[in-house]
Chains A and B, each alone.
Chain A
Amino acid sequence: MDVNIEYFGMLSEITRCSEETISLSQNRVSDLRALLLRKYPALEQVDFQLAQNGEIRSEETGISHRNLALLPPFSGG
């Protein structure tokens, strides 16, 4: 399945793009994380939350939508 991933904050600096399309062979969240870490090892340094179709469900383990967003915490004020 092809998914579109949007990157926010420092994530887009690591990936050097604000969004991209990635092809997933497995549809688990853990597979997506592993795939992204292989592609962008520096992601290891950053925590983020995953939104699917504009919705965050922290207990969700499967990828069931094509529109994904990776949301890191911001701390500045």
Chain B
Amino acid sequence: MNRYSRHIALREIGRAGQDRLAKARVLVVGAGGLGCPVLQYLTAAGIGALGIVDPDIIEESNLQRQILFGTATLGQNKALAAQKRLTDLNPNIDIRAYPERVTPRNALAFCSDWDVVVDGTDNLASRYLINDASLITGKPLVYAAVYKFEGQLAVFNYRNGPSYRCLYPVPPRAAAVPDCSESGVLGVLPGLMGVMQANEVLKSILNLGTVLSGKVLFYNALSAKVTTVTLHRSEVEIDKVLANRDAFQHDSAGLYGGRPVDEISVESAFRKRGAQWIDIREMGERPRVKKPAVTRIPFSQLMGRIDEIDSQREKIIFCQTGARSQKAITLLSQRPYFDNCYSVKGGAWAISAYEKRRGDERA
């Protein structure tokens, strides 16, 4: 037990507390800027079982803040790469990787299996989904979110405390909340917020101090100002979620905006083997791409020519800038077997720039 001697030395934790941690099961959804520090500290602390859910692959632009990854793990799945790194940090605990997305279909099963759920996702549809699933299954949700230089932290659904829906009852219009890739984020900010999440997880398991329930903490990294506001439980908002319990798995109410579109960088797209590339631009759109064997189906004809798309293979879909390809994937995902599509970030412009870069390197 030498590994945990500094914990055990604390009268407030001791051997009994360390045993409690060893029996705890924590699910971390999203192994990104928030999830990495959460996972790192919970692994080091000796949490008995950790689940890591993330369908994304590691890209170079992640390394500025996602501290479990490095150059050698570029292109690998985040959940699997994190599992490997964390097993080295602490081989005595049970670490499970789920390289998949949390969806209305699997969210309740995920949450039921664990004692505490940590929200480390990067989009609002997933945040509402995880909040509602943890509320329905009665699991505390340790939440954080970041924007540029500012972060939010709270523990929701803890011992009948308020829920994320009591703070923001309905998802805002998608355009109203930019994500990190659009707006940028200070690298240490998700680090700070994630470490605070790990702290709330430990407190809730150890019954230590005051868990941040019924409050939301706002942190501003530029002014070093912390603002804590009190949040009340809204029975109306909570009842709406609980009343939707049966419809949840089908998302028949469309509460979660359907399934988010999987985006892929050009570099990662070119690394995928055996995928079908589909150009959905209308005839004559620029720039031209050199890549051979691209299926051309203009967006306007997409659903009529769906039989030209191979349902068995992964599909890499692009348009001029990456907007229409997302719409196309949303359309395709309503058909069975069309859930393995990726939208190329930056579209044909990014592809042609990449081809030019690669050509220059060879010349």
Contact = CB atoms under 8 A, between A and B. Distances in A.
Partners in one complex: yes
Interface of A: 6, 8-10, 18, 45-47, 49, 51, 54-59, 69, 71-77
B185 A6 contact: no
Interface of B: 30, 32-35, 119-124, 127, 144-148, 150-152, 166-169, 172-173, 175-180, 183, 185, 190, 216, 218, 220, 223, 227-232, 234, 236-237
Contact of B229 (A71, A72, A74, A76): A71
6 contacts: A47-B172, A54-B229, A56-B231, A72-B147, A73-B168, A76-B185
Contacts of A74: 145-147, 150-152, 177
B120 A77 contact: yes
B168 A49 contact: yes
A30 to B, nearest CB: 17
A73 to B, nearest CB: 5
Contacts of B231: 56
Given A49-B168, A77-B33, A9 B229 contact: no
Contacts of B34: 77
Contact of B179 (A47, A58, A75): A75
A6 B183 CA distance: 21
Contacts of B123: 75
A74 to B, nearest CB: 4
A73 B229 CA distance: 14
Nearest to A57: B232
A9 B147 contact: yes
B174 to A, nearest CB: 9
Contacts of B183: 10, 76
Contacts of A71: 216, 218, 229
Contact of B190 (A8, A57, A72, A76): A76
A55 B127 CA distance: 22
A77 B229 contact: no
A30 B177 CA distance: 22
Contacts of B35: 77
Given A69-B227, A76-B33, 9 more contacts: A8-B218, A9-B148, A47-B173, A54-B228, A72-B177, A73-B167, A74-B177, A75-B179, A76-B147
Contact of A56 (B152, B223, B229): B229
Nearest to A73: B168
A76 B234 contact: no
Contacts of B177: 47, 72-75
A45 B218 CA distance: 21
A77 B234 contact: no
Contacts of A59: 234, 236
Contacts of B178: 10, 75
A73 B218 contact: no
Given A10-B147, A76-B146, A76-B147, A58 B227 contact: no
A76 B144 CA distance: 9
A58 B122 contact: no
B39 to A, nearest CB: 13
Contacts of B119: 77
Contacts of B33: 76-77
Listed residue (B147, B216, B231) with the most chain A CB atoms within 10 angstroms of its CB:
B147
A55 B232 CA distance: 8
B230 to A, nearest CB: 4
Contacts of B169: 58
Listed residue (A18, A46, A75, A76) with the most chain B CB atoms within 10 angstroms of its CB:
A76
Instruction: Give 10 nearest A-B pairs by CB, closest first.
Output: A47-B172, A74-B145, A77-B122, A74-B147, A76-B180, A76-B146, A55-B230, A51-B229, A77-B34, A75-B177
A47 B185 contact: no
Contacts of A69: 227, 229
Listed residue (A55, A71, A75) with the most chain B CB atoms within 10 angstroms of its CB:
A75
